[in-house]
Amino acid sequence: MTEKRDVSPPAGPSPLRSYGRRKGKRLSPRKDRLVAELLPALRLGLGDAAPEDPCTLFSVPVREVWLEIGFGSGEHLLWQTAQNPDIGFIGCEPFINGVASLLGAIEDRGLKTVRLHDGDAREVLPWLPNIGIARAFILFPDPWPKKRQAKRRLVSPALVDALARVLARGGELRFASDDVDYAGHALRAVNLNGAFDWLARKPSDWRLRPEDWPETRYERKALSEGRKPVYLSWRRR
Kindly list the catalytic residues: 142
Q: Are 20 and 142 in contact (CB under 8 A)?
A: yes
- In terms of phi and psi (left: phi > 0; alpha: psi -120 to 50; beta: otherwise), the region of 165 is alpha
- 77 membership: H or E segment, kind and range: helix 75-83
- Rounded distance, CA 47 to CA 6, Å? 24
- In terms of phi and psi (left: phi > 0; alpha: psi -120 to 50; beta: otherwise), the region of 226 is left
Q: Are 68 and 133 in contact (CB under 8 A)?
A: no
Short-list 119, 108, 67, CA closest to 91 = 67
